[in-house]
Amino acid sequence: MGRKTHDFMVRAGQPAFPGLVTCVLTRNTAPPEYKGVHWVTSDTISFVNELREQPGKDIWLMGGSDLACTFFQQRMVTVLRLGIVPVLLGKGVPLFATFEQEITLKLTGQQDYSNGVVGLEYDCL
């Protein structure tokens, strides 16, 4: 995840995901220490490529659009999960402001939640 997302998690009282390896990608050269959190201050693409070579399951990217766009541009995202929150904003930050390529998406799943949120899952083709 990105540092801003991690900061949000810290404020919510959960700096790491129990049972998962939590890696925070940041440009900060002196990140704080949290149990269960691995800080990555080097080249993020190289780091993820190294992760992909290791045995294990999927890599879950969680964070804002700046981080996501970095991996979209390298065609490293295979599945996109979006949560649609039922609130219209008059202003805001574009979902993927720095992404300039086109990626075709195929809807593979949908989940409706009781609070009105809709979860959508797409394969990135």
pLDDT at 110: 98
> Is 84 a residue whose pLDDT tops 90?
yes
**Domains of the chain by residue range:** 1-63, 64-125
- 16-38 tens-digit pLDDT: 988 888 999 998 887 888 888 99
* pTM as predicted: 0.83
CA angle 110–111–115, rounded 5-degree value? 140
Average pLDDT over residues 40-50: 92
Position with higher pLDDT, 100 vs 76: 76
The Cα 34–Cα 18 span in angstroms is: 12
Average pLDDT score over residue span 76-94: 90
Fold of 64-125: Dihydrofolate Reductase, subunit A (3.40.430)
CB atoms inside a 10 Å sphere around CB 56: 8
